[in-house]
Every structure is written in C-alpha cells, then in structure tokens.
Chains A and B, each alone.
Chain A
Amino acid sequence: MDKFAIVMEDVVKNFEDVTAVNHVSLHVASGELFGLLGPNGAGKTTTVNMLCGLLKPTSGSVFVGGYDVQKENVKVKELIGVCPQETATYPYLTGIENIELFGNLYTLDRKTLSARRDMLLEKMGLAQDAKRKVEKYSGGMKRRLSIILALIHNPQIIFLDEPTIGMDPQSRRAVWDFMQELKREGKTIFLTTHYMEEAEILCDRVGIIDYGKLIAVDAPKKLISKYGVANLEEVFIKLTGRKIREEV
C-alpha cells in the first residue's frame, strides 16, 4: 500500500450556489486515524463523498489507496468501507439480513461472512437484536448497524461520517474502542465529527474545516499547545471566533 492512504490536491466542490469545499489539500498516511472536524455545513460530508467516489470534484484530484478515485473507481470501491452520515439501512430487513446483503455485495465467502458478521454484531452490541427487523431499531442501534455494514468486508480504508451522532455514551465508547482496535490492525480511518472530545481522544491528527476551508491540520495536542488553550473547542474559537456547536 501507498505511504498515503488518502490524498487531496487542491480540491474544490461547488454546488449551484455554494462552495462546499474550497481548495482543500490533505494527506492522510496509511494506518492513520484522521478526524475532520467542523460545524454543520462546513463541508465534511461533501469531502467524504468525493473521497469515496460519490461526488466528482469541481476541480483538483483525489486519490485513495494510491488510485485516482475518478479514474479507478472500481479499485477504490474494493478498498474502502463507507458509513454514510444518514443511517442508510434497509428497514424491512433484519439486522443480519442487512449485514449479509452487504457481505454478498463485497462477494465474501460464506464462512468469512458469518465469522465477520458474528464478530461485528458482538463488538457493536447488536447480537441480541440481530434477528429483529431494522424498522424496530432505535436510532442508536441503526447507527451501530450502519457501522457494521461499512466494516463487513474488513476494508483497509474506512470512512465514517459522524458515526456517533445521537448515540448514548455507552455505545459511543464501544465505537471509540473499536476504532482504536481497527487502528491497531493498521487500518486507515477517516472520521468526520463535530464532537471535540471525540476528535481529541481518538485522532492521530485532526483537520479543522470551516466554510469549506481547511484552516488547521495537526495532532490535537500540537494544536492545543500551539494556540495555548485547554482543548480543541478553544482552538476552534481562537481560529474562527465562534463556538463549533452553536447551531446544534
């Protein structure tokens, strides 16, 4: 694998009336747990969507796993696992059926699929409810299932778009633990969040994005000491003059 799992070179994404991502350049090393931090509407989801090939950048280029995302779409798709911001799962299928469907989409063999399925259900605390239909799940349960769907094929590069939003503290902890475990296995994780403590606890490095611009990239500790403040929350205030979560 390439030294860099993710490379963005001067990427711009314009929608009709807004510039969602504004000249962003970024390198994420293989095996790194990177957090993209920013308020709602900052451009996090747009960034993730360009990285996993769902959106075409207006200009600039994007590489994942050494492949040009636009030109070698299929190669990239086999490498990555994506947990989208909206909890996309099939409500009329059970937890297990959702998982097996995605396992089959990644053409896992039966044995691998059932082993991964059971392990992930256990890790995400969904084993008890695996046979229930997803429409009966709580919001937090759907999120945990959504994470399982992204990880079923044991991907090398993982995109998690606000994975812990609306989760109870206990589930959030379980997800954090699991992310650290994945990092120990050498996986690259690209996480977006607007939870400061999540970024601070988990990430090797964070990028702070505001109005589509990447305004700071470094290890949380370095950012905190660089701006002489107590935490990432205060780094954001220092940089922008606003609180990150005022609109939530």
Chain B
Amino acid sequence: MKFQRVKALTSKEIKKTIREPAVLFMIFLFPIVFVLAFGMSFGGLGGSTQPVYALGVVNMDQQNTANYTLHFIDALSATKILSVQIYVDNQTAQDDLSQGKVQAVMLIPDGFSQSLVSYNAVPDDPSQWVNVTVSLYLDKGSIVATQAIPPIIQQVLDTFTNQDRQTVLTPVSLQIASYVETKQTSAFEFMAPGMFTFASIFLIMMVAQSFTQDRENGMMKRIRTTPTTPTEFMTSQIISYMLIALIQAVLVFAAIHLIGFKPNVDFSAYALAFVFVLIFSLSNVGFGLITATVAKTSNAATGLSFLFVLPQLFLGTFVGASLSSAAQTASKFVPSYYVTDALTSLFLRGAHVTSQTVLFDFATVTASCILILAAGIILYAKYYRI
C-alpha cells in the first residue's frame, strides 16, 4: 500500500466535502442547526406510560424489629412501578447505578426499624422518636426516573408513618435526606449524548452518493486504469469519513456545550467518546457502500440511504427519547444505540471508561461496525469493481 496514493485520495474526498455546498450543509450545518434548534426548544419531558424503574436497595438495618424493613421493601415492590433489586453492599449498588443498570439506589440505614417502632409507640410525641434518614441516589441520566422515583418512595414511606388517619398532623421524622445526585438533568442534557451519534449517521448518505456519483461520471473506472489498488482506495475512503466524523463530533460538541451541556467528567471520558464516534463512522461507510451497491444512480442512493439512516436515527439517538418497549428491543440491533448508551454512561452517569457497561458497548460497537464495513466492502466489490 502506497501512502502517497491514500493521502492524495483522502485529500480529494475531504475537498469534495468542504467544497460542495450541499454536502457541507448536510454533514456539518444540518446537525448543528438541528442540535441548536432542538436544544433550545426542548422544554418538558415526554412522560410515557408508566415504565418500570429498577431500584437498588441496600439494607443496613441491623435490628430487624417487627420486620419493618421487609414490609417497606414489599410495599415498594407492590407499587408495580418499581422493580426492587437487593444489594448486600453499597459499592456494588453504586457501581450499577453509574452504569445505568438501576435508575436509583436507596440506602435503608441502621435504625430504620427502630425508628418506626419508636414512632408507633408514641405517635404523638416527636421528642421520643428516633430520627433516621433514608438516602436515595438517583441516575442523573434518566430524567423520568429522577422525577418519578422520589415521590413514589415518599408515598410508600408515608403509609408507614401515617397509618392512623387521626394523626395526620404528626410530623414525619423519616425523610429522604440524601440526594447525592439530586441535580435535575434537563431534557436537553438527557439527549446530548445521542446528538454525537445523530450527526454521524448522515454520513451513510454522503458515502453512498460519493460512490454512485464517481461511478456515474466515470471516475471509478478512470481510477481503475491507474495502479491504485482497491485496498488503497477503500482505505482513503475510510480515513476520509473518519476524519469527517471527527470534525462533526467536535462541532456538535461545541454546539451542545454552547447550549449548556457541561458534563463534569475527566478527559478520558471525552477521549473515549470521540473514539466511539470514530469507530461508529466505520458502520456508516459500510451502510453507505451497501446503499451504493443497491442504488443504480446517485439520486436513488439518496433515497435508499434513509433505509439505514432512519432506524439508526429513531432507535439509537436522542430522537427516540421515549421509546415503546418494542422499539426498545429493536434498538438493541442498531449500532448507534450502543454509542449513545456508552456516551450516556460516560457523560451523565459518570461511569468510568473501564466500567463494564462502557466496555460492553465498546466491544459491541467495534464488532458490529467492523462487520457492517466488511459486509459493505464485500457486497460492493461483488457487483462493482473498486
């Protein structure tokens, strides 16, 4: 492989992107305008019909007098909105929370039962009560969960302290005191990770157009009369679109930063986010090639590319913020979902770059994108010579 050829072809591809106004708009301006418009206009949250939230419970209560703790947990499960998962130690629970496996973690403190016992003994004399605090940690990335979970738990707690209708005036000594991650995530922040993926998906159309156009105007053939090898040509295409994806990601990042998305994470999270976008761009080249194989003309390619653009858009980015459960299942089959999921873990849940979820997403994205790219190259090479 001759670097001189790859470099020349890459620079040609980049020049095309920068110089053709339609391409420039589609690749750079459109995503940014979309992100800005979306971010500025998106106010409330789209509350869908009663989803189930996973609540991690860490029970630190030593004296389980009167089984209050168990009753409490049972009462929480009975709400049907919460699916309770018991943890033996706080650390595991917190890890799972940061990786999005549960939406909230509740810490039942030592003395919880004792507190309720003291309350029931003298419901009218607060000075005799043992005060405890139930701590609740919430997933910043799940906006619906942050708003829905605390009131549910509060309601359940109230049933333990206000059983007697006559004593409504009695102050409740139990309170949810510890919102460690109480900062309310805005709807925009919730969607920000998906925006990285969003911009990149349109590369599918660009790649498909690039190949069909070069076929139409005879450039593919002309390149084939030179000693350029198919490997050199494909490498130049892959490098070009990785570069374009990188520039896109930087621009989108600047745009969402401008709107106010400033995740409090270290450099490694950002670096990994960009690596994700780069690897994801491979699948766009792959889907673009598949489109270019099927499409006879560049016009047909534009339309056909939406066959790959739309599912990835609606199932794997912020566009499909509240999905039906069927769509949630379907989303597991698009690579963009894993990119968005990983970026959400990194930026919103504060997951470490080496955490299990992020690594799983990374492996999934890498494997699927390489497969899609390979499929694209094989399919294209079967019907057209490169």
Closest to A104 in B: B8
Q: Are B16 and A106 in contact (CB under 8 A)?
A: no
A78-B227, A102-B226, A105-B226 known; A88+B221 contact, CB < 8 A:
yes
Contact A77 B227 (CB under 8 A): yes
Question: A72 to chain B: closest CB distance in Å?
Answer: 12
CA distance A76 to B4 in the complex (A): 20
Quick one: given A77-B226, A78-B227, A107-B2, are A90 and B12 in contact (CB under 8 Å)?
yes
Q: Which of A32-40, A93-101, A196-204, A212-220 contacts the other chain?
A: A93-101
**Complex interface: chain B residues within 8 A of A92 (CB):** 15-16, 19-20
Q: Give the interface of A toward B (CB within 8 A).
A: 52-54, 74, 77-78, 80, 82, 84, 86, 88-93, 97, 100-102, 104-107, 133, 149
The 8 A-B residue pairs with the shortest CB-CB distance in the complex, in nearest-first order = A104-B8, A88-B218, A82-B225, A88-B222, A86-B218, A105-B226, A77-B227, A92-B19
Once A77-B226, A90-B16, A92-B19 are accepted as A-B contacts, the answer to whether A104 and B221 lie under 8 Å apart by CB is no
A107 touches B221 (CB 8 A): no
CB-defined contacts of A104 to chain B, threshold 8 Å: 4-5, 7-8
Question: In whole angstroms, how far apart are the Cα atoms of A71 and B221 in the complex?
Answer: 18
Of the A-B pairs whose beta carbons lie under 8 Å apart in the complex, a sample of 10, sorted by A's number, is A77-B226, A77-B227, A84-B221, A84-B225, A92-B15, A97-B12, A105-B5, A105-B9, A105-B228, A106-B227
B227 x A82 contact (CB < 8 A): no
Interfacial chain A residues near B5, Cβ < 8 Å: 104-105, 107
Q: Tell which of A84, A93, A106, A107 touches B218, judged by Cβ atoms closer than 8 Å.
A: A84
Q: Which of A52, A53, A88 contacts B219 (CB 8 A)?
A: A88
- Nearest A residue to B16 via CB reads A92
Question: Which residues does chain A contribute within 8 Å of B217, judged by CB atoms?
Answer: 86, 88, 91
Given contacts A54-B224, A77-B225, A77-B227, contact A107 B12 (CB under 8 A): no
In the bound complex, residues from chain B placing their C-beta under 8 Å from that of A86 are: 217-218
Distance in angstroms between the alpha carbons of A147 and B8 in the assembled complex? 20
Whether B8 pairs with A90 at a CB distance below 8 angstroms is: no
What residues of B have a CB within 8 angstroms of the CB of A80 in the complex?
225
Which positions 210-267 of chain B face chain A at CB distance < 8 Å?
217-219, 221-229
Kindly list 18 other residue pairs between chains A and B, CB separation below 8 angstroms, not including A54-B225, A82-B225, A88-B221: A52-B225, A54-B224, A77-B225, A78-B227, A80-B225, A84-B221, A92-B20, A93-B15, A93-B16, A102-B226, A104-B7, A105-B8, A105-B223, A106-B226, A106-B227, A107-B2, A107-B5, A133-B19
Nearest CB of A to B341, in Å: 37
Q: Which residue of A lies closest to B218 (CB)?
A: A88
Q: How far is the CA of A101 from the CA of B16 in the complex (A)?
A: 13
A208 to B293, CA, bound (A): 38
List residues of chain B with CB within 8 A of the CB of A53.
Answer: 224-225
| A89→B224 CA distance, assembly (Å) | 14
- Bound state CA distance, A91 and B19, in angstroms? 10
What is the CA–CA distance of A104 and B4 in the complex, to the nearest angstrom? 6
How far apart sit A13 and B226, CA to CA, in the bound complex (Å)?
23
- Chain A proximity mask over B5-33: 1 for CB below 8 Å, otherwise 0: 10111001001100110000000000000
The answer to whether A101 and B12 touch (CB under 8 A), given A86-B217, A92-B19, A107-B2, is: yes
Q: Which residues of A contact B221 (CB under 8 A)?
A: 54, 84, 88
Contact A90–B219 (Cβ < 8 Å):
yes
Q: For the complex, what is the distance from the CA of A50 to the CA of B219, rounded to whole Å?
A: 17
In whole angstroms, what is the CA distance A88 to B12 when docked?
15
Q: A133 contacts which chain B residues (CB < 8 A)? A: 19
Q: How far is the CA of A92 from the CA of B226 in the complex (A)?
A: 20
B4 interface neighbour in A78, A90, A107, Cβ under 8 Å: A107
Chain B residues near A107 (CB-CB < 8 A): 2, 4-5, 227
- The residue in B9, B217, B219, B225 that gathers the most chain A C-beta atoms within 10 A of its C-beta is B225
Write the nearest CB–CB distance from B160 to chain A, whole angstroms. 72
Select one of B9, B15, B218, B223 contacting A97, CB under 8 A: B15
**How far does the Cβ of B334 sit from chain A's closest Cβ, in whole Å?**
32
Once the chains bind, are B19 and A105 in contact (CB under 8 Å)? no
CB distance from A144 to the nearest CB of B (A): 16
In the complex, how many angstroms separate the beta carbon of A22 from the nearest chain B beta carbon? 23
- Chain B residues in 8 Å Cβ range of A54: 221, 224-225
**Cα distance A77–B227 in the bound complex, in angstroms:** 5
Once the chains are docked, how many angstroms separate the CA of A106 from the CA of B4?
A: 9
Question: Nearest chain A CB to B240's CB is how many angstroms away?
Answer: 13
Alpha-carbon distance between A104 and B8 when the two chains are bound, in angstroms: 6
C-alpha spacing A80/B16, complex, angstroms: 27
Contacts of A102 in B (CB 8 A): 226
**C-alpha spacing A107/B225, complex, angstroms:** 14
- Chain B nearest Cβ from A191, distance in angstroms: 16
Cβ contact within 8 Å between B222 and A84? yes
Nearest CB in chain A to that of B217: its residue: A88
Taken together as a complex, chains A and B put the C-alpha atoms of A40 and B12 apart, in Å, by 34
Closest to A86 in B: B218
Task: Note all chain B residues with C-beta closer than 8 A to A97.
Answer: 12, 15
